[in-house]
Structure formats: C-alpha cells, structure tokens
Amino acid sequence: MKENSRFRNHISIVLEQFGSFFYIILIMAVSGIAQNLETLKEADFQFLHTSETLAGAAVCLLVVLLLIGRNLFVWAKTYISIQDNAIVIERNTINKRKHTIGIKNISNINTEQNLFEMLMGTCKVKLDTNSLSTADKTDVKIVLKKKAANQFCEQVTGMLLQQQGTAEKEQHKEAQPEGKENRKIYSKGHTVIHSLREGGLSPDKVYDITTDFGALFVHGVFSISILSLLITIAGGVGAVVVIVEIVRAPEGVETIVGALASILIAGSVFFSALWDTVKDFIQYYDFRARREKDKIYIRYGFFKKVGYTIPVDKIQALKIHQTWLARIAGRYMVEVVNVGMNDEAGQKAFLVLYSKKEQLKETLHTLLPEFEEAASMETGRQPKAVWAAWILPFSIFAVFTAAVCVTCISYKPSYALWILSGETGILVLTLLCMILRYRTAGVGMDEAFLKICRGYMGRRYILIPYGRIQYLETSQNFVARRCGIEKGEVNLLASAGEASQALPYFYAEYTGQIKEKMVANCGQL
C-alpha cells in the first residue's frame, strides 16, 4: 500500500456488523415461539393476513433497510491512510471525525479471521496503542482482503521498526565485528542467530516454535479446570436424569415446551462446561511462534484464526501458569502481558503451551531471552508472621458467620444440625485455603525483575521488569506493622484485568529495595 493513499474497509464489514443484530432477533423469535407454542398450535394463522400484521412487518423491514443504508453510508465515507508516520482514519459523515495514531505508539499488531471472514477471504487487523485509557478495548479494527491485510501489517511493522530501531541499530553496528551482521546480542549475554529470517520474509514463512497434535493434546489436558470438569459431569448427569424422568412419566410433564426447557437448561450447563473443558484443544490449533529482531510473531486458531505481532519492548510482564494437574506433573504455560492483550474475550498471547521445565527454558531462550533468567528465579514463601496478620480478618469472618448461623437457627431450630455443619464446613474450607495460599504464594527479586507467585491448588507466576512498574502501593494492619511485614500491589500499563498485580505479604524492608530498583531501571526491559 502506498503511503498517503486512502482506502476503505472491505464492504463485508457491513454484513459483520449486522451479524450480531440478526442473531439477537433470531433468539428473540425462537424464544417467543417456544413460549407461545401451545397457543400457536390452536391458532389458524389467519392473523398473519390482517392489515395490522402486514403494517408491522413493513415497519420492521423499513427499519432494517434504514440500518443497512446507514451502515453503507458510514462505510462509504470512512477512509484509512498511512501518512507522516501515522495511521489516519477519517469519517466524513454529517459529523466529521479524524482519528490519528502515531506509528511509534502502537504496542502490538494483531490479525483475526473468523469463519465468516474465511469464507469471504477477508481478515481483521487489530491495532493497540500504549494508552491506559483504551487498554480495555482494541483501538483500531480494519477489515481487508487477506493479501491486503498482510501487506498493511508488514508496512506498519516496517515503519515501527524503522522508528524504534534506528538509534539502536547504529549502536549495535558499532559494537559488532565485521561479518556478524546477522547476530543479535541481548543485554543478558544470550545470543540468538537469525539467518534468512532477518531478510524480510513474511511472518507466515518460517517459525521457531510449531506444535503437533500431541503437544496440543497435552496442553488441553493440563488446561482443564477441575471445577469445569465437575460442572460438566454434573450437567451431563442432570440432562440424563431429566430425559429418563420424561420417558418414565411423560404425564408428569405439563407441556412439551416444559420438557424441552428442562432438557435445554441441563444441556446448556453441560455443553457450556464441556466447551470450557475442551476449548484449549481447538482454540490453539496449529500454534506457531517466532522471534524476528525485536518482534515476536504468534499464530494459532481453527474456527477463529488469530495472529499477533508483539514488539518486545512493549511487553510489560510475563505470566507463567500451572493448573493443579500441571503443578503435579511439573508443566508450565507462558503468556505475554502488554497493552492490548486480554482486552477482548478469548484474546490471549500465549508464548509457550504447557510443557516441561527444560522445554520452557529452550523456548524462552529462542523467543524471549530477556526473561529467561527471571523465569528460573526462586520465590521465597511468605514470612511465618503472616499467620498473625491473618488472625484479625479470619476472626472477624468467624464472628460474622457465627452470627448468621445463630440467626438462622433461631428461625429454623429443626435445621440446627445442618446449619452448624454448614458453618463448620465454611470455616474449615477458609482455613484450608489459607494453608494452601501460605504454601504457594511468595515473592522473588533480583537486580532487574520482580517475581510474584500466587495461587491455591494451582500456581501463577508473574515476572515484571522493575522499569515496567507504573507505581507501587503497600498496606498493613496493626498486627502486620508490629511483625514488620506488609502486602502490596504493583500497577502496569495493561488491560484492566492485568494492570493491577497483588503482592503477597513480604518483609517491610523489601519495599525500599523495590522502589530503588524501579527508579534505577525506569523505562528499561
């Protein structure tokens, strides 16, 4: 695409915008028919030929045509262009608007292709910027033919590299001996040799990391949530029980609609939980990743194909996950945190699917060596004095549950045993969670990274360069103050779900060390 030339979104965007509208209308129609099925069975449908019905249908049709016309008008009057190192989106409708995004502010370039776009041969380009105000939504969405979308992404990526890397390239060129132009040296001494991949080949050509069915199966197994698995089993059993009861005693079911509703409710619970259990088998089909210069390219998807182009210097943190099963088996999964990631449902920039520790190290060495040493850093368990700090909130909680228990018994004395059993179970479960949290959570520190570990049965680490911390907050109750410990929260430039990261209890003297390292490493990865 030529610079300063204007182009539009592909016209299929108009149909995509109406997809959700027609889906809502369809659900409302099916719901209305299901609720009035008995009435419709007795009706002769003569009402469909009345003037009132025809007039209502005409009004609905007119509204749909007006909406389509409005979207077509907006599409025809919206132009996109690249000019003066910025992406400009102009909407020349009744109210003219002009949205300008500097290339240097782009944090990542994502592509997405759903089933409709696959049929149309189009692709959605998503651009996110380093803006906290828009960290919970995609800043720009552009729909183009797939070839044009790839060209657009390559052009923007090239301009971003040119702006960000000119001074750095000159510095590296002076430091490199002759004949070593293809050798990239990182700050921590790790080296990754790039050959033809640095010659400007398309991101679809060569990948450092690829996955086969076996790797995806392993990832899917270790991604399973125990809670989702239990709900799936319960939903399946519930659906079978409902069907068996209907077959055994059909007279007990008041209407066909009632029977169908019962089956649908149980079935929806089952299939929803089943999808939550097996989605990772399908969602990350054909997972691929590669590092080229200062960019990481990630591709995956079956029903929805997505692709991410992530500048390394925009990465705010790295998350390492372990479910309960993965913790037992010693498997780890890694996810990137930066502005734009996780701002939409299902949007995850996984860097490493569930794998063993040795494979994790190898993959990080290839894709993100800047975080390799930090990933191996040990985290210390919370100070034992944390139990003293937890006594106060646990005591308040115990008194509150006891008061609720006494109130319930006064109203229902016959259920006293069940109520007392319930309160005891809640307190025991709370205490068990405290024990699991104490044995799992902790903090690790080195000269460049802060490492936080949280969890109960599973475990989640987050590796944060000190230079990426926006600010640090700490707090302590009077017991923690006497014990010399405190907890806190670090804030990052990321989506709302990732911006705030809780720090478990740690020794108070660490606060000064963290603040000093935040200042010393400001702006550095």
How many CB atoms neighbour CB 229 within 10 A?
A: 15
- Return phi, psi of residue 83, to 5°: -150, 140
What would you report as the CA-atom Rg of the chain, rounded to the nearest whole angstrom? 28
* Token pair of 110 as six digits: 């994502």
Is residue 185 domain-resident? no
Are 274 and 405 contained in the same domain?
no
Is residue 503 domain-resident? yes
Q: Which of 158, 175, 192 is the last residue of a domain?
A: 175
Is residue 19 domain-resident? yes
Residue 66: partners with Cβ closer than 8 Å, 6 or more residues away: none
Are 168 and 29 contained in the same domain?
yes
Are 15 and 71 contained in the same domain?
yes
Is residue 187 domain-resident? no
How many CB atoms neighbour CB 4 within 10 A?
A: 10
Residue 185: partners with Cβ closer than 8 Å, 6 or more residues away: 172, 175, 176, 191
Is residue 319 domain-resident? no
Are 167 and 232 contained in the same domain?
no
Task: Please report the beta strands in 294-375, taking only residues with DSSP state E, as ranges in sequence order.
Answer: 295-300, 305-311, 315-322, 331-338, 350-356
Q: Which of 249, 283, 317 is the last residue of a domain?
A: 283
Are 457 and 385 contained in the same domain?
yes
Q: Which of 283, 311, 343 is the last residue of a domain?
A: 283
Are 170 and 217 contained in the same domain?
no
Count up the domains in the chain and report the number.
Answer: 3
Are 500 and 382 contained in the same domain?
yes
Are 169 and 218 contained in the same domain?
no
Is residue 381 domain-resident? yes
Is residue 98 domain-resident? yes
CB 138 within 8 A of CB 340: yes
Range of the domain at 442: 377-525
Are 263 and 385 contained in the same domain?
no
pLDDT per residue as tens, the chain (525 positions):
666 678 889 888 888 877 666 666 666 665 555 555 555 555 555 555 566 667 767 787 787 788 888 888 888 889 898 888 888 888 888 888 888 888 888 877 888 888 888 888 898 888 887 665 555 556 788 899 888 888 888 888 888 777 765 545 554 454 444 443 333 333 333 333 333 333 333 444 578 888 888 888 888 888 877 766 676 676 667 667 766 666 666 555 455 555 565 666 666 656 665 666 567 677 788 888 889 888 888 888 888 888 888 888 888 899 999 988 899 999 999 988 887 655 555 556 778 888 899 999 999 999 999 998 888 898 988 999 999 999 889 999 999 999 999 998 888 888 888 889 988 999 999 999 999 999 999 999 988 999 999 999 889 999 999 988 988 999 988 899 999 999 999 988 777 677 889 999 999 988 888 888 888 877 666
Is residue 291 domain-resident? no
| DSSP string over 448-491 | SEEEEEE-SSSEEEEEEEGGG--EEEEE--HHHHHHTEEEEEEE
